[in-house]
Structure 1
Amino acid sequence: MRMEWPSNWIDRISGHACEMCQSPRLDEDSYGVRIYSTPEVDAVLQRADIQRGYTIIIWRGRHVVEPFELTESEANSYGKATLTVAKALAAFYQPLKMNYQTLGNTVPHLHTHLLPRFVEDPAPGRPFPLPQRGDEAPIAPALLAEQATALRALLR
């Protein structure tokens, strides 16, 4: 079966139909809970129970698809925020390894999936298999809130 890019792909990469550009910078939404922010970056601990500590770093400056589209100053800001959050995730969750996945094949806006990797892992030694369904069971709200509070304290 041959797959094709979505019919509105050009609008997505141009920013005209970019869901990340259009979404407000909320402390909490259907995707997760914001645990860290700078003027240009948000870090959102994901609500879906895919992997403990799964967090997405979202570029909130102007619309860009690729990291190389950032200016040197913007790239430093994005990189520093990504590493700051990854360090806090590693300190809190104590994973065996951290993964950094910057893809943008579904949502073409610069963002990085931070995925702590543990002993009990769906693909040891391989890239983390991110699901594409969007209907994953959520983390218990109290547990998500507890983890977000602890991570925010580490990120202060």
Structure 2
Amino acid sequence: MKSDPKECLYCQNNETLHNLMIEFAQLGVSRAFLFKEQTYRGRCLVAYKDHVNDLNELSDDERNAFMADVVRVTRAMQKVFNPEKINYGAYSDKLSHLHFHLAPKYVDGPDYGGTFQMNPGKVYLSDAEYQEMIEALKAAL
């Protein structure tokens, strides 16, 4: 499914987006966000800067630059949150804007050994806690 940039959550940069996540960095070819729902402590998302529907639409250089941004964020997540594993999700069934969900998984944490839930709606933090996480991620980038 291809989406219209005029109706795209990431392109419109609207209130709906800001209710779900907090942008904390502009990277080489993408934007990095911290999810507000924090069932998976440290969960982030990296979205391509332009409206692209799928990874296969990028040139090799664009794809490599995007994946370098994804790796840069996961390295920061690993340093700050020290998860056992980071799960990657590139789901675009209903919102075709290239983005990767980055969900840290912990041995004794939710859904370890299984697929992370898109939005469990269970764990929300204070503004100060989000800010502390963002500052730590920025410092690790």
Matching residue of 1:140: 126
Aligned-residue CA RMSD (Å): 2.1
Deviations 1:97-135 (A, max 9, x none): 011101112321110000110123222212112227xx5
- Identify unmatched segments of 5+ residues in structure 1: 1-8
SS of the residue corresponding to residue 13 of structure 1 reads coil
Question: Could you tell me the TM-score, scaled by structure 2's length?
Answer: 0.86
Between 48-57 and 14-23, report the one with greater CA deviation.
Answer: 14-23
Larger radius of gyration: 1
- After TM superposition, the structure 1 = structure 2 runs for residues 83-122 of structure 1, keeping only pairs within 5 Å, are 83-122=71-110
Q: Displacement of 1:80 after TM fit?
A: 0.2
- Identify unmatched segments of 5+ residues in structure 2: none
More helix by share: 2
AA at the equivalent of 1:146: E
Deviations 1:44-66 (A, max 9, x none): 011123321110101112x2111
- How many residues in Structure 1 have an aligned counterpart in Structure 2? 139
Q: State the structure with bigger RCO (CA 8 A, min sep 6), 1 or 2.
A: 2
Is this contact kept in 2: 1:36–1:85, CA < 8 A? no
Inter-partner Cα distance in structure 2 for 1:94 and 1:49: 15
The reply on whether 1:78 has 2:72 as its aligned counterpart is no
Q: After the TM superposition, list the runs of 4 or more consecutive aligned residues in structure 1 that deviate by more than 4 angstroms.
A: none
AA at the equivalent of 1:13: S
SS of the residue corresponding to residue 51 of structure 1 reads coil
Inter-partner Cα distance in structure 2 for 1:15 and 1:37: 19
Inter-partner Cα distance in structure 1 for 2:10 and 2:22: 15
Question: Could you tell me the TM-score, scaled by structure 1's length?
Answer: 0.79
SS of the residue corresponding to residue 104 of structure 1 reads coil
